[in-house]
Every structure is written in C-alpha cells, then in structure tokens.
Amino acid sequence: MSQIGRLSAISFAALTLLAAAEGTQACSSLLVGNKASADGSVIIARNEDYYINNWNKRLVLHAARNAEKDEVLSFKNGLKVPAPAHLLRYSGLMDWNGDTPSGDGLYEERGVNEHNVAVSASNSAEVNERAKKADPLIDSSVVEAAIPSLLLPQARSAREAVTLLAGYIDHYGAGEGNGVLIADQQEAWYMEIGSGHHYLAYRVPQDSYIMVANGLRLHDIDLDDSANVVASPGLADFVSKHGLLDKVDRRRFNFAKAFGVIGDRYNVDREWLGQHLLNPSLTQKIRQQQYPLTIKPEKAISVSDVARVLRARFDGTALASVKDADRPMGVDRTIETHIIQLRADMPAELAALTWQSFGSPAGALLLPLYEGALKDVPQPLRQGSASYDTVSAYWAFRANASLAQTQPAKYGPLLKAWQGKQEARLTTQQAAVDGMLRSLHATAPDAALAFANQWSNGMMLWGVQSARDLNATLLTDITKSTEKKYSPAELEKIKGL
C-alpha cells in the first residue's frame, strides 16, 4: 500500500475546519518566563493571522547605521518620529509589499536586534465603546504596522523597549487596541494598549506563562509595583473619572475590563484551550469572563509544547461538542508563526533562535534561524506576493495545506506525519548544533557565526524543498485519483486503440 493509503485512516481534524474561523484579523500568542521553559530560555511566540487567506511575508535585515541629520522615521498612516542618532541592527518580517506604495505599512511584525531584544506586534484587541469615547484612538499615531520598526532600532533591553513604546504613546497617541510581546535574554513583558493614550505593561513572572488571544488580558495588576509594571500616567484616576470600572482597585487593577471586551467566545475559548494544554490537571469552566493571567505550567515548556498550543484545535476537550466553538489557534488565514527563544547560555550573537513557519502552522514546518548571525536572507524569504509562485517559502507550505483540504481524511494524515517526522529531526539536530556552536565560538567566533548563518539558510532551503517534494506526492495522487475506473474489457479496448 502507498504511503498515502497507509495514512488515510488517521484523523487530521485541523485541516477539515481550517476555513471555519471568522474573517477578521487576529492572532494567538504565548509568553514564557525563563524558569518556566524547558531549556531556561525566555520565549515569545505568536500566530500572525490575517483577514484573508493569501498573504506573503519577506525577511529583512536592517544594518546598524548612524541617522542622517534631521532624519525622520515616517510611516504610512502619517506617524512621523525623529530618528535616534544611531539605529541598531535588527531583523523584521515584513509584509510582502510593506515597503511599496501598494502596501498599507511595513508590518514587520516580529524581529530581534543586536542586543537580543525581541518584539512581536501585535495581538489585535477590541476596545469597548466607553473607552473609545473617553479617550478616542488617533489615526496618525502608534499602530501595529509601526511598532517593531520603532522599537527594534533603539531598545537595548526589554524594559527599555516598553519604556520607549510608552513614551511614544504619551506623545503621539495610539490608533489601535493592541497587545505587544517584548523580551530579552532575562525577561518577557506583555504590554496592552487600551485607548488613545492609555496602556499597561506587565513583566511575565519567571516561573509562569501568559496565554493571549484577541481580547485584552491584563487584570489583577498592582499599579504600584514599579519593578514589574509600567502604566500610563493617571491611569487609575482616568478609569475612575469616566466610570470604566464600577470600582477601581489599584492593587488588583482590571485593565482588560476597563478598556476591552471580556468574555467573548472568540477569545476566551483560545485562552481556555492554551491553559488546558499546558496545565491539563487544572479544572476551569469553559467560557468564563476572564481566565488567570499567569499560570505556572505543570511541566517545563519546550518549543514543541509552544508549537502544539499554536496549532491546537478543540478536539478531545470540553469545547469539542460546543457548536459555536469555531475559533481555535492556527487557522487557514494564519500567514506565519514564530517562536522566538532568547537563551542566556549562548554567546550573544547566537542567543536568539527563531522557529519560523509560513501559512497555517497545522501544515507547515517550524524552521530554525539564528537571528543575530544572519548575514544573508534565505532565498525563499526574499520575494513573493499574494499570488502563487514557485520560489517563496510561504507558497511552498501554503500550497500543501490547500491541496490537503481537497480530501482532508486522505491527505491530512500524510501532511501531519511529514510534519512530525521532519520537526522531530530538526529538534534533535538543534541541541547538537547549539553545543557545537557554543564550543566553536569560544575559539573561533567568526567561524561560528559564519556556520550559524549557513545553517539557518540551509535549514530554510531544506524545509522548503521538503515541502515541494511533498507537493509533488500530493499532486501526483490527486491527478491519478481523477482517472475513470474501467472494466477489464473496456480497459483492454482503450489500450488497443
């Protein structure tokens, strides 16, 4: 029996429902403290979901440079910010048309700079009508499309990135409700923007994680805890003045309730699911108004665990039988997924390891990139658009997910088995590569960085080629499956013509 035939009995529900989610832009995120992760790394991770299925990304490397005299950082929405005197080297995962007149903005979405500060922006979040009226959002201000491009050229620590973003919102205002993930090798911060001028940032406890969907999440925050909290000026007084909370408690401040929309099934289903997967013995009712902000995981969280969360569906859970539970994690309109590890035990240039996939994570490989050592952008990440091509990484993986959906019961298991086999290989290899690079860097740092660059490029090329090989298998079987079945007599007659 063929490989496809052997696997066709395995269920792969992720593909059968990929297209069922609502058509709004959204994301799912996970932040993990360094004492909650399996290898001691700080982890921030996110599915970048879009409002349409087809959308490509390009990886861009920005060299460190000195700013021109009176240089201004200008963004498509009209925001203009004076450039810092020196701009740091950083990477950005830009929209395929982000730097062209046809684009809506850069939308670099995620990146790491030379000081191992990582930013992932953003989780779109709904702002409630009372908050909008009290402090309206501002069009030509700080928005998702600009946030990584503002912070990464400047921040030398995660806390500095938080402070920078806070300062920009104080000065220019904000145009959207957003959740921003910021981290370095020591700590992770989660920052929410709830109105035109109000925000709250919270440092993730080292032994815990935060699961985020598309609702504002920050609650039970001590506004006087300056070591772990950064809040907009006059936040509590503003909320009290405008009646955004029935009672304002500075020691257990509920930012999400004041500025957001809590209890929306679109969001709380994913919050519950993520916490259920990482703490399976924790009993929580489905569809609560709010779930705990931080939780200590039952076991240390690995990259594979993070991937499992970002690919998760409701099968086998209390939400499986709920008819309107139709928004799981990775969906058909997920355009990329990133899991960024910041490792304190690696040389600085090798500390940031990004596991990157394209298209829905249910049908793609997470491939490792040493962000700080990259000198060359892998060819599949340099080009592409919203139209199919045979070069870009996005279309190599996106095409397979689309083909598998033609017969999910038959091709879904093949896709899942391929993914599991290849990622197990990558995970096993990575520990050995890290160890080798750590040793090599101690005696020959330039050689170590050159190898890390080549390895990153090679892994992306290998992963894309593996996807194309699978594509050939799928297409061959799909075209063969359209053959008409003839009787032996008819077949002999046709062969004789």
Confidence of residue 25 (pLDDT cuts 50, 70, 90): low
Q: Is the pLDDT of residue 256 over 60?
A: yes
The length of the chain, given as a count of residues:
497
Give 18's contacts (C-beta < 8 A, 6+ positions apart): 331, 332, 360, 362, 401, 405
Mean pLDDT score of the chain, rounded to an integer? 93
First-to-final CA distance of the chain: 31
| Residue 12, pLDDT above cutoff 90 | no
CA distances from 268 to 30, 280, 286, 355 (A): 14, 17, 8, 26
* Helix, strand, coil % in the chain, rounded to nearest 5: 35, 20, 45
* Per-residue pLDDT tens digits for 203-245: 999 999 999 999 999 999 999 999 999 999 999 999 999 999 9
Contact 12, 413 (CB under 8 A): yes
- Arithmetic mean of pLDDT, 120-139: 96
User: CB of 461 within 8 A of CB of 379?
Assistant: yes
Active site residues: 27
DSSP characters for 280-300? TT----TT-S---S-B--SSP
pLDDT band (50, 70, 90) for residue 332 = confident
Within 122-157, residue ranges assigned H as helices are: 129-134, 147-151
Q: Residue 263, Cβ neighbours under 10 Å: how many?
A: 13
The per-residue DSSP string of 318-360 comes to TTTT-TT----SS-TTEEEEEEEEE-TTS-GGGSEEEEEEES-
Higher-confidence residue: 418 or 488?
A: 418
CATH placement of domain 3-404: 3.60.60.10
Find residue 181's DSSP bridge partners: 120, 190
Best CA proximity match to 230, nearest among 173, 163, 286, 297:
163
